[in-house]
Amino acid sequence: MEKRMNRFWVILCVVLMLTMGGMAQEKSKEGAVSDEEELREAALNALMQMDGERALPVIEKVLQKETNPKLRKKAIFALSQVGGEKALTMLQNLAENDKDNEIRAQAIFWIGQMEGERSLKILSDLVDKMNDEELKEKLIFSISQHNSEQAFQKLTAIARTDKDEKARSKAIFWIGQSTRSEAATVLESLMSENAPQKVLEQIVFAISQLESEKGLPMLVRIAKTHKNYEIRKKAIFWLGQSESAQAVKALEEIANEK
């Protein structure tokens, strides 16, 4: 135990010394990582294998003082591995406030990998006020990684009402990838609404990704009866990607219509 504690404090001191600028950061002209940066990364890796709670203040200092994106991303990963409420709060702060969008995206991703109602609430609250298109897509993906009724309901709400067409399309995509039994019902209800063309096309694609016993009948109905001929053509295209007898029969019937 004493030996373990000594190792912890040695590594802690190394990280603090390097993070506070005790040594200069250098890179070669080819962009290679310096020895000092490798040492910092090794120290972070070692801390992750030790006492997580004790590592949090060190990780926090790295995130506050460090300018190297690679080391900051490593520190974010370390936070996700430590876990717990304190780590989640730190990730939330990065996702909401960091000046570097790549760092924000990393924090959003790892929040999405943390189970629990609080992590989902953080993502849900943030997606509602997010103006950055790319970060909003990251948030929708992270919400989709929560296998819960609440997460599915949030995706459905985005698909129905979000003002951003791309956000709606992303939510629809992940609904189509869901294994939840209600996914087909949600997509069918979305199809009947007065959605923009791009959103309707994404719904047809999402339906094509459902299990065949659920998706094929819906595609057949769209191909035969939807009022938008471009959307009908999309449904026909996806029916053509299926080798099922039901799809072949539907295509024959459509081809023979007069």
pLDDT tens-digit readout, 68-80: 888 888 889 888 8
Question: Residue 67 falls within a domain, yes or no?
Answer: no
| Better-scored residue on pLDDT, 64 or 97 | 97
Residue 33, in any domain of the structure: no
Q: Is residue 174 assigned to a domain?
A: yes
CA distance 143 to 137: 10
Among 14-23, 155-164, 224-233, 239-248, the least confident range: 14-23
> pLDDT band at residue 51, thresholds of 50, 70 and 90?
low
Give the chain's mean pLDDT: 83
107 lies in a domain? no
In a domain, 155, yes or no: no
Q: Is residue 182 part of a domain?
A: yes
Please indicate whether residue 138 or residue 43 has the higher confidence score (pLDDT). 138
Average pLDDT over residues 88-109: 95
Q: Does the pLDDT at position 107 exceed 70?
A: yes
> Whole-angstrom Cα distance, residue 154 to residue 142?
12
User: Is 57 inside any structural domain?
Assistant: no
More confident residue, 179 or 15: 179
d(CA 95, CA 29): 32
> For the CA atoms of 191, 194, 199, 205, what is the dihedral angle to 10 degrees?
20
Q: Among 44-53, 146-155, 239-248, which is the least confidently predicted range?
A: 44-53
The span from the CA of 99 to the CA of 214, in Å, is: 45
- The boundaries of the domain holding residue 213 are 164-258
Q: Given this model, what pLDDT does residue 75 score?
A: 87
CA dist 194 → 1, 7, 135, 183, 226 (Å)? 66, 63, 27, 19, 12
Overall pTM surpassing 0.85 (yes/no): no
pLDDT at 230 over 70: yes
Q: What are the CB-based long-range contacts (under 8 Å, 24+) for 8-13?
A: 8/47, 8/50, 8/51, 8/54, 11/43, 11/46, 11/47, 11/50, 12/47, 12/54, 12/58
Task: Give the number of domains in the chain.
Answer: 1
Note whether residue 196 is domain-resident.
Answer: yes
